[in-house]
Amino acid sequence: MKYTSLLLSALFLLGFAACNKDRNEKSELYIDGTRLSTRNVEGYYMMGQPQIYLLNKINGKEISFEFDFNVHSYPKSGSFVLSYGGTDDTLVPIGFILDGVQYFTDKHNSSRIDAYEYKGKGKYIINPTVFYSYFPDPTNSFYIKGNDSLLVRGTIYEPKDITVR
């Protein structure tokens, strides 16, 4: 009986370790000091360019967070400017929706995201950056900058599985 219990415990631990082996690294975002920790990060190639996306909740509010690289593979080194938009390969368009409100960097932002290699995948450090609320302008296709701002920083890991869209 003692050996059976020990064997079952060992098999359980091996099974648990095997399940964890294929999971994403734990990514963390800090939004105005509130921590969001998740493994639920998705990676896509959209029109040949890599995207990172996560959907989660922070303080009970839904957050949809995304950034894109204007290069053809997930970078494992370099430093890129976080931008409101643009197609230059030194820019990373980034934004998120928190509780139905869209947030983007200011058009004159110079904050950066730094890329490193970690276990053969990309590790992305989002340096402290102020994001501003933006609302659609009803008179044209542009956005109007709102009065709300949030300070964001974090570490996001390239997910293990990447989907082509």
Listing DSSP states for the chain in one string gives -HHHHHHHHHHHHHHHHHHHHTSPPPEEEEETTEEEEES-EEEEEETTEEEEEEEEEETTEEEEEEEE-SSSS--SSEEEEEESS---TTEEEEEEEETTEEEEE-TT---EEEEEEETTEEEEEEEEEEEEEEEE-TTSS-EEEEEEEEEEEEEEEPPS-EEE-
* Tens-binned pLDDT, residue by residue, of the chain (165 aa): 554 444 334 344 444 444 555 789 999 999 999 999 999 999 999 999 999 999 999 999 999 999 999 999 999 999 999 998 889 999 999 999 999 999 999 989 999 999 999 999 999 999 999 999 999 999 988 899 999 999 999 999 999 999 998
Q: What is the pLDDT of residue 5?
A: 46
Q: What is the pLDDT of residue 2?
A: 52
Q: What is the pLDDT of residue 24?
A: 94
Q: What is the pLDDT of residue 107?
A: 87
Q: What is the pLDDT of residue 141?
A: 84
Q: What is the pLDDT of residue 21?
A: 57
Q: What is the pLDDT of residue 12?
A: 45
Q: What is the pLDDT of residue 9?
A: 42
Q: What is the pLDDT of residue 6?
A: 41
